[in-house]
Amino acid sequence: MEDGVAAKAPPRNLGGSLPVPNVQDLAARIIDDDDQLITVLDRYLRPDVVVSSSSSSSVEDAAAAITDDDSSWSVPVVDLGRLLLDPDELVRKEEAGKLRSACEDWGFFQVVNHGVPAKVMDAMKDDLNRFFKLPLQEKLAVAQEAGGVEGYGQAFVVSEEQRLDYSDMYFLFTQPPEYRNLNLWPSSNPSTFRDSMERYSVEVQRVATDLLRVMAKNLGLSSEAEKRLLTRVAAAQSMRMNYYPACPESHADKVLGLSPHSDAVGLTLLLQVTTTSPGLQIRRQGRWVPVAPLPGALIANVGDVVEVLTNGKYKSVEHRAVVSASHERVSMAAFHTARFDDDAYGPLQEMMLDGGEQPRYRTMSVEDYVKLVFSSKLDGKKHHGRHEDQSLPLTPLINH
Ligand SMILES: O=C(O)CCC(=O)C(=O)O
Ligand SMILES: [Fe+2]
């Protein structure tokens, strides 16, 4: 992708999901009768999963799931204002050190003081809450089309046997503006949705870019390699908006809001739209660790693409969402990626040459990679992660 060249609309044949029931609608019609529930929720039940703390109704309860240890289980916090703007270089360096260890050791961190105006965040949250509260028929005005990935519906359902996630989602390409399919953006209800999304999207892409610049410095990349990192990781953006209805008490710990997965993108910035009800958990040292929503923060996480570009120095981390017995929950993930016409995802030369390392991941065209992602189910860490296995033949799909 050359600078200044107008982007073409994304390919329309990226794959799609099998149609599934609307979970918000299903939850609204559920009667608290155990026999009936088992039938209605059959495809959502996870006999193989122990969902701890899912029935907790408050942030405190979720945090309490990790009481035996201490703050070493809370996700690190990075202050972006301090990182970029503090007049004292030592302070900036100290914050950059925090970002480095967050990337190397956690793969997840909360970003505070990020400069996204509170009114931009609040308007986005309000419009999203309003959207999900609309009657089903109105939401279906922006429903996913058969074979498409954008719109209101579900993603990653590839078989009738698959266990389903207890959530609905609304997915849109947001950056560059040429990627937008405005037919799938509400125009009149909520009437401010498009405007809120435009403003929020620009701000969040700026936060991703700021973070990546410091990450490039932390990795010791040249300005050339930094540019490549930014093009591969923050040239495009899509939003996945998630709605998790409350689930009857007797079943809330038997379903999952979102299956364990790592994000198949460069860098994710997640907004916990609902801050009063926890749900996000990350896998760390074999345990599921809840991430308590910090009001106003964005939660950043390293995606599979950054893992590939850094040749495994920064690793993506598995996470999932659990549901509450008493509260609905809304979240919004901003995914940052390359543009579709960028050539390929693969380890950056500089990330290998420095340590004289071999590439540990295959190089794959961006479009093939995205198609692979959308045609699979969410199932832990995979895609490029799979190619880390040294026993796999390292056959580049395309050379570059
Ligand atoms: O709802 C959450 O907290 C997690 C959402 C998420 O992981 C995703 O949309 O990829
Ligand atoms: Fe995710």
Question: pLDDT tens digits for the chain (400 residues)?
Answer: 445 567 777 777 776 777 788 999 888 887 666 666 767 788 888 877 767 643 333 344 444 455 445 577 899 999 999 999 999 999 999 999 999 999 999 999 999 999 999 999 999 999 999 999 999 999 999 999 887 889 998 877 777 778 899 999 999 999 999 999 999 999 999 999 999 999 999 999 999 999 999 999 999 999 999 999 999 999 999 999 999 999 988 888 889 999 999 999 999 999 999 998 889 999 999 899 999 989 899 999 999 999 999 999 999 999 999 999 999 999 999 999 999 888 888 999 899 876 678 888 888 888 888 888 877 666 677 544 444 444 333 333 332 2
Q: In this structure, is the dihedral angle defined by the CA atoms of residues 64, 329, 162 and 282, taken in order, positive or negative?
A: negative
Residue 167: nearest ligand to its CA?
A: 1
Residue 117, preceding peptide bond in cis (omega within 30° of 0): no
Beta strands in the chain (DSSP E): 77-79, 108-112, 151-153, 168-175, 236-244, 258-261, 267-272, 280-284, 287-290, 298-302, 319-321, 329-337, 344-345, 364-365
Closest residue (by CA) to atom 2 of ligand 1? 280
CATH architecture for residues 23-388: Sandwich (2.60)
Query: How close is the Cα of 25 to the center of ligand 1, in Å?
Result: 20
Tell whether ligand 1 has an atom less than 6 A from the beta carbon of residue 265.
no
- Nearest Cα to Cα of residue 43 among 199, 324, 255: 255
Query: How close is the Cα of 120 to the center of ligand 1, in Å?
Result: 21
Report the distance separating Cα 260 and Cα 331, nearest Å: 16
Residue 258: nearest ligand to its CA?
A: 1
Tell whether ligand 1 has an atom less than 6 A from the beta carbon of residue 284.
no
**Which atom of ligand 1 is found nearest the CA of 279?**
3
Helices (runs of H) and strands (runs of E) counted in the chain: 12, 14
Residue at token pair 């892409």: 205
pTM: 0.90
Domain boundaries, the chain: 23-388
Tell whether ligand 1 has an atom less than 6 A from the beta carbon of residue 334.
no
The count of other CB atoms within 10 Å of the CB of residue 148 is 19
Task: Give the end-to-end CA distance of the chain in Å, rounded to a whole number.
Answer: 14
Tell whether ligand 1 has an atom less than 6 A from the beta carbon of residue 320.
no
Tell whether ligand 1 has an atom less than 6 A from the beta carbon of residue 279.
yes
Tell whether ligand 1 has an atom less than 6 A from the beta carbon of residue 271.
no
Beta bridge partners of 269: 300, 334
Q: Evaluate whether 298 touches 204 at the Cβ level (below 8 Å).
A: yes
pLDDT tens sequence across 334-391: 999 999 888 888 999 899 876 678 888 888 888 888 888 877 666 677 544 444 444 3
Tell whether ligand 1 has an atom less than 6 A from the beta carbon of residue 331.
yes
Tell whether ligand 1 has an atom less than 6 A from the beta carbon of residue 333.
yes
Query: How close is the Cα of 18 to the center of ligand 2, in Å?
Result: 20
